[in-house]
Amino acid sequence: MIKKRNLQFGFTLIESIVAVAVFILISVVMYSVYSFNQRAYLEGEKMAELVQNGRIVIERITRELRQATDMVTVLPQTDQGAANPTEIEFQDGHIPVFSATSTAVGSSINTIVLAVGSSAITDYYKDMFLKIIDNTGQGQLRKIISYDGSTKTAIIGEEWSIVPDNTSVYRLGSEYYYIRYYIPAGENEVHRQYRVYCFDSCDDCNDYFRWDDVRPEIPNVPSACALEDRTIGEYIAPGDLKFWGSNVIDVSVRISEDNREVNLSTKVFGRNF
């Protein structure tokens, strides 16, 4: 009589432990590679964001400096390190020099129809500031963001609080607009301020003057009045934006967040000063 053997196949305990250990090791390695790649990707994105912020600031300052017609900030001829100015102000040169006082034809909540003799050139008044100086809506100041020369209609950037009418007298001028780039104390953001200079208080200012004008009456020097103030860049601390030079102006900016840092610089040739 032949006896049949009871054969059983499977893994031993040691083989099972080894297989589990190898699986865990491979999983840890794969996770580590994935985690490293993910961190590298996120780090690259954050560095790209810093570079992009710096480029926006540099390019905007460069473009407007090239067109500037007068420099308000006194800049050192050479790099003075920590002593370099950390803000800059200059006269805007990209808007046509213009000044007029007229009566509106009509308005809506976000438009104003200018006087009949106004320019027929579309967007001629774009980026200028219009102030209602008498009658309905008096005291309101708005920026023109587009202009239709065929209808004399200007679209404003902020709705009227009180809609002007055909009795509203407005002043539209661009003869002395100034641009200031600076970083407010306690902030890590670069601001672009659009301003004018007035002998009257800012609320009552209807006539603009050069920044260095003087007159016999008191006050005998004009004061700066901000028309617009906007943030154009982040991650730039006070002292990390610097300027120096005369005909050729050096602009240097340091952008930083946590342990990341990017340094950018450029040279700007002023065409008009």
Would you list the DSSP string of 12-46? -HHHHHHHHHHHHHHHHHHHHHHHHHHHHHHHHHH
Q: What pLDDT is attached to residue 217? A: 86
Buried-exposed string 32-41: b where 16+ CB fall within 10 A, e elsewhere: eeeeeeeeee
Q: What is the pLDDT of residues 46-71, one digit of tens each?
A: 888 899 999 999 999 999 999 999 99
> Any idea what DSSP says for residue 107?
E
Contact 211, 153 (CB under 8 A): no
CA distance 118 to 101: 11
Query: How far apart, in Å, do the first and last CA atoms of the chain sit?
Result: 118
CA distance 62 to 84: 18
Tell me which residues of the chain have a pLDDT lower than 70.
Answer: 1-11, 273
Q: What is the pLDDT of residues 206-239, one digit of tens each?
A: 888 999 999 888 889 999 999 999 999 999 999 9
* Percent of the chain scoring above 90 in pLDDT: 69
- Number of neighbouring beta carbons within 10 Å of residue 70: 17
CA distance 152 to 15: 88
| pTM for this model (two decimals) | 0.78
Q: What pLDDT is attached to residue 91? A: 94
State the Cα angle at 145 between 168 and 73, rounded to 5°: 100
Residues in the chain: 273
Q: Are strands 141-148 and 153-156 parallel, antiparallel or unpaired?
A: antiparallel
Q: What pLDDT is attached to residue 273? A: 65
Residue 224, phi then psi, degrees to nearest 5: -80, 135
